[in-house]
Amino acid sequence: MALSSFITSTARLKMAGLKNSKSTGNPVIAIHGWLDNAASFIPLSEQLDTSRPFYALEMPGHGLSEHRANSTTYHLVENVLDVLAFIAEVVETPDVKVTLIGHSLGGIVCSLVAAAAPEKIDKLILLDSLGPMTDPAEAVLDQLRKAIGKISQFKASKKTVYPTLEMAIAVRMQGIGKVNAKAASLLVERGIESVEGGFSWTSDPHLLDPSILRFSEPQIKSIFGGIECSVCLICGDQGYFKQYKNLENRIAYIKTVQSHHVNGGHHFHMDGDVKKTAELIDGFI
């Protein structure tokens, strides 16, 4: 499945990504992880067998999508409205349901969308993702103070400039969710721009700001209980679920879910068992 770039104006922001050439059928929308971009779905798209419209969507501040205004923040829930605004642009009629695929942060956002607007989602595929970080009530104040203290300085983190593309690729290989050279090259090619002195990521530095407020675990249980569609959870055997064992407890929060493991780390859909991942998704949707 060949993909090409797109930019779509929505009721909220301009959103970019990669799409196939199909125009009929219920859309499949795939959303990347934190600080990644739509290129994270290129390896998977090459293995998927679908005749439906496929969109690898970039969340605001990522890839080539528009950055948020300085008068707002990148709070997790804002992404739910962004995805719904994009869905409104790509469905033929409001009653058409879409399938969501989400990796890491993208999976968290997709889960919230499925819970908040169940009438718009027919199936949900989560890739090494099962909800956001949570805080107990006694930790909320500390988190609030830390985040407000940082954000109220009203200065974005300084962008790193890499003198060569090779250095940017090498750094990304060791970044959040380590990836191999081929996967890093795809992410860099899509998400980097020429600047004075070399190259820098196109992503908004404000994405590095701390979360102002987090959900509590009981809130996540309630939200996940509101997911009405069928869910397919796929995890890498060396991914985040190996590191954060308590995430497995959340599987019980979802009404209808199937769980699978494939070879690979957190980005197994890029540099792990991509073929098996595609087979599981094809069989589910």
Whether 206 and 242 have beta carbons less than 8 Å apart is answered as no
C-alpha 265: how far from chain center = 16
* Catalytically annotated residue among 65, 104, 129, 185: 104
User: By three-state DSSP, how is residue 95 classified?
Assistant: coil
Q: Which amino acid is at 14?
A: K
Closest residue by Cα to residue 124 from 103, 150, 94: 103
The packing angle between helices 181-191 and 165-173, to 10°, is 120
SS (H, E, C) 43-73: HHHCCCCCCCCEEEECCCCCCCCCCCCCCCC
- The 8-class DSSP code of residue 205 comes to G
104 among known catalytic residues: yes
User: By three-state DSSP, how is residue 188 classified?
Assistant: helix
The β-bridge partners of 257 are 231
Token pair belonging to 149: 């203290």
Token pair belonging to 83: 């995805």
Q: What are phi and psi of 178, to 5 degrees?
A: -55, 140
Task: Compute the distance between CA of residue 228 and CA of residue 237 in angstroms, rounded to an integer.
Answer: 27
Closest residue by Cα to residue 25 from 124, 92, 94, 85: 92
* Residues recognised as catalytic: 104
